Amino acid sequence: MLIVMKPQATEGDVRAVCAKIESMGFRAHPMPGAQRTAIGITGNPGPLEPAEFETMAGVAEAIPVSKPYKLVSREVKSEDSIIALKTGPGKADVSIGGRELAIIAGPCAIESREQAFAAAARVRQAGARLFRCGAFKPRTSPYSFQGLGEEGLKILAEVRREFGLAIVTETVDPENCDLVAEYADVLQIGARNMQNFSLLKHAGRLKKPVLLKRGMSATLEEFLMAAEYILSEGNYDVILCERGVRTFADHTRNTLDLSVIPAVKRLSHLPIIVDPSHGTGKRDKVTPLARAAVAVGADGLIVEVHPNPERALSDGYQSLYPEQFEELMEQVTAIAGVIGRTTARSALATAGSQLQESGPHCKDRRFSS
Amino acid sequence: MLIVMKPQATEGDVRAVCAKIESMGFRAHPMPGAQRTAIGITGNPGPLEPAEFETMAGVAEAIPVSKPYKLVSREVKSEDSIIALKTGPGKADVSIGGRELAIIAGPCAIESREQAFAAAARVRQAGARLFRCGAFKPRTSPYSFQGLGEEGLKILAEVRREFGLAIVTETVDPENCDLVAEYADVLQIGARNMQNFSLLKHAGRLKKPVLLKRGMSATLEEFLMAAEYILSEGNYDVILCERGVRTFADHTRNTLDLSVIPAVKRLSHLPIIVDPSHGTGKRDKVTPLARAAVAVGADGLIVEVHPNPERALSDGYQSLYPEQFEELMEQVTAIAGVIGRTTARSALATAGSQLQESGPHCKDRRFSS
Amino acid sequence: MLIVMKPQATEGDVRAVCAKIESMGFRAHPMPGAQRTAIGITGNPGPLEPAEFETMAGVAEAIPVSKPYKLVSREVKSEDSIIALKTGPGKADVSIGGRELAIIAGPCAIESREQAFAAAARVRQAGARLFRCGAFKPRTSPYSFQGLGEEGLKILAEVRREFGLAIVTETVDPENCDLVAEYADVLQIGARNMQNFSLLKHAGRLKKPVLLKRGMSATLEEFLMAAEYILSEGNYDVILCERGVRTFADHTRNTLDLSVIPAVKRLSHLPIIVDPSHGTGKRDKVTPLARAAVAVGADGLIVEVHPNPERALSDGYQSLYPEQFEELMEQVTAIAGVIGRTTARSALATAGSQLQESGPHCKDRRFSS
Amino acid sequence: MLIVMKPQATEGDVRAVCAKIESMGFRAHPMPGAQRTAIGITGNPGPLEPAEFETMAGVAEAIPVSKPYKLVSREVKSEDSIIALKTGPGKADVSIGGRELAIIAGPCAIESREQAFAAAARVRQAGARLFRCGAFKPRTSPYSFQGLGEEGLKILAEVRREFGLAIVTETVDPENCDLVAEYADVLQIGARNMQNFSLLKHAGRLKKPVLLKRGMSATLEEFLMAAEYILSEGNYDVILCERGVRTFADHTRNTLDLSVIPAVKRLSHLPIIVDPSHGTGKRDKVTPLARAAVAVGADGLIVEVHPNPERALSDGYQSLYPEQFEELMEQVTAIAGVIGRTTARSALATAGSQLQESGPHCKDRRFSS
């Protein structure tokens, strides 16, 4: 059930509806929009009677939600969600889901202060505003490098201070979720944990945005339901991420399913980005697929970049060299320009070119996808 | 690296080798076999020098292990592992991986004391020795029934006392692992958690056998590596379970991959059972696939049976009616008979028939698979 | 639309109904059953009026067919189809779909008279009644051995005369279909050609039974529709064959989908057999999966056996040695015994054992699958 | 084996090498390049002795080819193949694989002269240079509309004369291949026939370019090997086409695998285009995926456009309305512009904008993919 408030409804009206919902033993999720506030109801075992709410002050209508997912649905919130990160006083704000593409880059795992700083300097310069780097690594083998742990998180905090990059790093279980949240700007939940419901619920109770990767064989509905777990606990700042699915095809490590981007855009208000590094597993495929991801309408990219890929402790074969990442940024900035979007690099480019205003193609933020 | 002791090596010899391994900063995993003891080494960052060990008393040879998984491998332990459950004083012991098939049956989720007792009585009578029933349910939707929690576990403890059935129930995160282990005889880790490495490591530190289900798109190597996580922490009692993988095929909910049974048998000493309920997702396919699973060489079955499937709170469409489970048991007992295995039902059958000794086909425990 | 005749309807009544259907511009498919005859109608662009037929002499009822496939459906013919092969005067008849399992064995490709004869002698002795061997081979590479062609077919005709084995061999295009039909008892259409509709239609106009293999990524509906192409042209003798589908799993060449057997049995009257050789692609997996196929309810097996697998010109790694095929036959005969079926080997076994009458398990032809 | 001629080698030198190859019983495939001619050898059962050729006049070197495919490989021909169509005297030439993207559009099946002409007028105007339309339709059901046959081909010939569009239409078996080749500019071989080797060989003996669609579960190697069948018969004008593969994902009809574009570009000199209509099966996904296909580096698109999709006899739900196709063309032309490529629409656009010369991004024909 979704309660849609009138545009002129007061804050008190909204509070009264929420109080009524809670008094019935359910959970109220007020979602302010540009025009009006909507209030999602979860926790109800069956359909509710619309009349119970439609007679209250400020209520426009009470409508049943037809999809199994509720809070992630465009039925509940028709405008795109834009997730703003506050990376610190005096630091440039970063947002995900807006006109500017969110570019997240960095090494698979933090190996040392030197490695992290070297990577951060290069990706910052190339136009990334967010830094990805794992301190806790879920590895297929118990005998593989499992990450530097909290020591790594501390270095990431330094990276933020030094380079003004927002930090995206992985959490692997409910226990370590709180620790990671102390240091990170965005909590990453990996593909293998997409249906680790305890972790999803725990992340839903924190106040940090969550980057949720699609599971290797997750259907679109399962993907959205996993996000719903987080929202249902009160955390509405979820960024979805397509990172390839598992198929019979053997020329890439996974098969990047770019059709999921317009499919998500149709059903959900949440932003969705693409990981062409895991999505292909091969360095020479990353940039072409990054171009395609931007062209299809993704809200950003997450890319593995390592100052020295041959010596990487994990995923070296799919990590870009810093100069390759610069090329990637140049190319995706060009594509962004013609579909009415920008990157942090666009501003630099503007001085010397008219690229991002290239004519009739950027009437609005993007082509209808 | 694997240290193979001589048949006549003393316990002191074994202890000395373990002490040397620990002194090098690695972990020793002594694995007693019928003829000799082998000692697995984990934690070493690279290859070790065989001569370091081959000169010690009682050591036959030191051999490198060629597979990425070590402790689960037949290279380390050539005999089949048989996992014995002690379900209580005065209760019949149950074992998994031996000549008798392990038959695990019961409802998807515990709904009430009445439901659990009704199911337990029927599956016990039909020949199951283990009872499956979930108290903590990982559900795709946050709004679906999530299980009765500890209250359910307490009822399961009653089921064990009352019916002498060993209890198999699911654990969903490291935190609740300890709680579940207090009540269960076997901890189940579900397909969605197959690569929840925190949970695997936690279960590896407990003293309870673990039933590990294959992930929906897990390769054989990933499946064995997930088991390796548990063994590497010191818990060697792992039972693998094939439960269907995700494919394009739409006539069943999953595609049951029975070829993984002989594939596991070739590479690993661990027992492996089959779940034809989730493996097909359709009630009328469960019994034919259960027959096939026994014929292919599985060490047992885990089957959903509900006293009243239409009223089940989850998975009703794939749960057998109690009388269907009896038919299933009759049929798999017949198949077991001709491939040199038994079920608890075989003994009953023997009085009236010679089925399980049907000629030359049961020279040994099973056909070479 | 399906016209069901009354049990006492005369041949003239049936002819009159067929004449009426043809006069309307459609096609009539009379299908005699044990109790009554049914007449399928194809070629009608939309639903027909039942009353047009229900008033005719001998008609019991006219019922619309709900599935997209018609003639292959159990709605049209409820009894299992049994396909009888007449292999020549004085030769034992072979049938597929009856109580005795159809065992088809032989090398992937015919290489020489000596090789074919050596294989035929061994598989005949082990209990096969049909000989599989390709003279025209569809190969992934244009540079691989493509078969001996008509010369090979002539040798196969000799094999039939010499060993009394029915010949199953592949046809690869409409042109060569007629040629192959001159020599073969059963025309095989391979997985890559499952949706080669020209070939299916051509085979539908011949009078020879067709063994139709499931495509590598065919859904159940597509599989049945491919068979429908053959039946719709007037050839009702189709044998379906599951040979593995393509998935992410890499421990076998294909993933054998045994659940399709009970799924086909529910929807269609056609017999279905299993190919554990292509279904696994590995010699050591063939026998366990053959056991499983028989246990799940398949009507037979098609198995690659080569007198000298290491020297085979194709598929050597998945071909059984003749002595392995004997073990396979021994094992599947045992399984067949307890599910109420037989093999040609059962008769031999009977002298010394009571295996195939093992008690209450063979009340009827097979367990309800 | 590949014989690389010296830049200054004469035509006589090339003929002499070919003659020698033929005299050995093999087949010679001379492939002229910008700098030099290379001569592929096929039909040799094993490796040849390089010295046999390296001593001949004009020969630079003889090098073994390491891949299972030979003539399609970049090892044999390093420059991109550009396939030129001659659509008739006085008509504008069309080429596939060059700087201008090949845009192929039109209805799934030809239904009438009016429908074809209406579609052709619209797609021509929007910037397509090739017209796709099926006269022979391979359909899953024998009871579905199978196409107008030769009558349809005749209408297509009229479309070419009237609109100057090159005609792309499907051939379904070797027999009808000759008939289709009389009318078509490009023979299309569909996904279901990708491994119909008889058809591939037949098409290889004709002089018409072939558009070969990837099979639904074809690996990259199988795809290239299927093309190799055509080239090995002497027809080097093959255009590859990605049209989606079959996976578990259910939000689109197929999963479009765009990573195969850079993968093909790395291994083969053949052009490759993308079919976003079958690749997604949903009208609203076609344009976003078309943008992505161009961005990833495809050489063109094949798109279903119908003047009246709701009344289409096949594939209506995935066919674009003509005005949607115009939007698609506008968008892909913009993307093409920034990656250094063009469409027929670019020229029109140039008058009013500088789009296709947008700065440093079009140094060369495309980004290295």
Q: What is the pLDDT of residues D72-107, one digit of tens each?
A: 999 889 999 999 997 666 566 799 999 999 999 999
As given in the structure block, the two tokens for residue D17 are 């090498």
- What is the pLDDT at residue D365? 40
Distance from CA of A269 to the nearest CA of D (A): 17
Identity at A37, one-letter amino acid code: T
* Angle ∠(B15,B18,B21) on CA atoms, nearest 5: 155
Q: Which residue has the higher pLDDT, A12 or D349?
A: A12
- What is the pLDDT at residue D368? 46
Average pLDDT over residues B52-70: 87
Q: Which residue has the higher pLDDT, C253 or D351?
A: C253
Please judge whether A195 and B140 are an interchain contact, meaning their C-beta atoms are less than 8 angstroms apart. yes
Contacts of A221 in chain B (CB under 8 A): 140
To which residue do tokens 């106009």 refer? C205
Mean per-residue pLDDT pooled into runs of 10, chain C (369 residues): 90 94 91 84 84 91 84 92 80 87 97 96 96 93 89 96 96 93 97 96 95 97 96 95 97 97 97 98 97 98 95 88 97 96 80 38 40
Closest partner residue to A248 (CB to CB) among D217, D251, D339 is: D217
Please judge whether A198 and B246 are an interchain contact, meaning their C-beta atoms are less than 8 angstroms apart. no
Contact predicate D297/D99, CB 8 Å: no
What is the helix (H) or strand (E) element at residue C95, kind and residue range?
strand C94-96
Contact predicate C165/C209, CB 8 Å: no
Contacts of D287 in chain A (CB under 8 A): 367, 369
- What is the pLDDT at residue A356? 37
- What is the pLDDT at residue A89? 64
% of chain D residues with pLDDT over 90:
73
Question: Where does residue A97 fall: left (phi above 0), alpha (psi -120 to 50 degrees), or beta otherwise?
Answer: left
CATH 3.30.70.1140 positions along chain A are 2-63
Contacts of C217 in chain B (CB under 8 A): 248
Q: D145: pLDDT confidence band, cut at 50, 70 and 90? A: confident
Please judge whether D259 and A285 are an interchain contact, meaning their C-beta atoms are less than 8 angstroms apart. yes
Burial group, residue A66, by CB count within 10 angstroms (0-12, 13-18, 19+)? exposed
Please judge whether A142 and B201 are an interchain contact, meaning their C-beta atoms are less than 8 angstroms apart. yes
The 3-state DSSP class for residue B133 equals coil
Average pLDDT over residues A161-174: 95
Q: What is the mean pLDDT of chain B?
A: 90
Distance set, CA C367 to CA A363, B285, C84, C107, C363 (Å)? 67, 12, 23, 32, 9
Chain mean position to CA A61: 31
**Which tens digits make up the pLDDT trace of A98-125?**
999 999 999 999 999 999 999 999 999 9
- What is the pLDDT at residue B92? 60
CATH class of the region C83-360 = alpha beta
Please judge whether D338 and A339 are an interchain contact, meaning their C-beta atoms are less than 8 angstroms apart. no
> What is B2-63's CATH number?
3.30.70.1140
Closest partner residue to C291 (CB to CB) among B249, B296, B354 is: B296
CATH 3.20.20.70 positions along chain A are 83-360
Tell whether C217 lies on the interface with B, counting CB pairs under 8 A.
yes
Tell whether B248 lies on the interface with A, counting CB pairs under 8 A.
no
As given in the structure block, the two tokens for residue A355 are 């690229």
Which neighbouring-strand residues pair with C172? none
Contacts of B68 in chain A (CB under 8 A): 141, 143
Distance from CA of C201 to the nearest CA of B (A): 25
* Angle ∠(C257,C260,C266) on CA atoms, nearest 5: 165
Distance from CA of D284 to the nearest CA of A (A): 7
Give A121's Cβ-side CA count (13 Å radius): 7
Interface with A, mutate which of B42, B66, B192, B245 (most A CBs under 10 A): B192
Q: A145: pLDDT confidence band, cut at 50, 70 and 90? A: confident
Distance CA B125, CA B122 (A): 5
Tell whether B52 lies on the interface with A, counting CB pairs under 8 A.
no
Contacts of A220 in chain D (CB under 8 A): 249-251
Identity at B11, one-letter amino acid code: E
- What is the pLDDT at residue B314? 81
- What is the pLDDT at residue A36? 84
Contacts of A246 in chain C (CB under 8 A): 248
Tell whether C47 lies on the interface with D, counting CB pairs under 8 A.
no
Give the torsion sign (CA, A224, A226, A229, A231): negative
Closest CA to C291 of B99, B261, B74, B355: B261
To which residue do tokens 């697929």 refer? A289
pLDDT > 70? residue B306: yes
Q: What is the pTM of this model?
A: 0.91
Nearest CA in chain C to A216: C248
Closest CA to C196 of D192, D188, D179, D198: D192
Distance CA C99, CA C3 (A): 29
Please judge whether D334 and A334 are an interchain contact, meaning their C-beta atoms are less than 8 angstroms apart. no
pLDDT > 70? residue D129: yes
Please judge whether D219 and A369 are an interchain contact, meaning their C-beta atoms are less than 8 angstroms apart. no
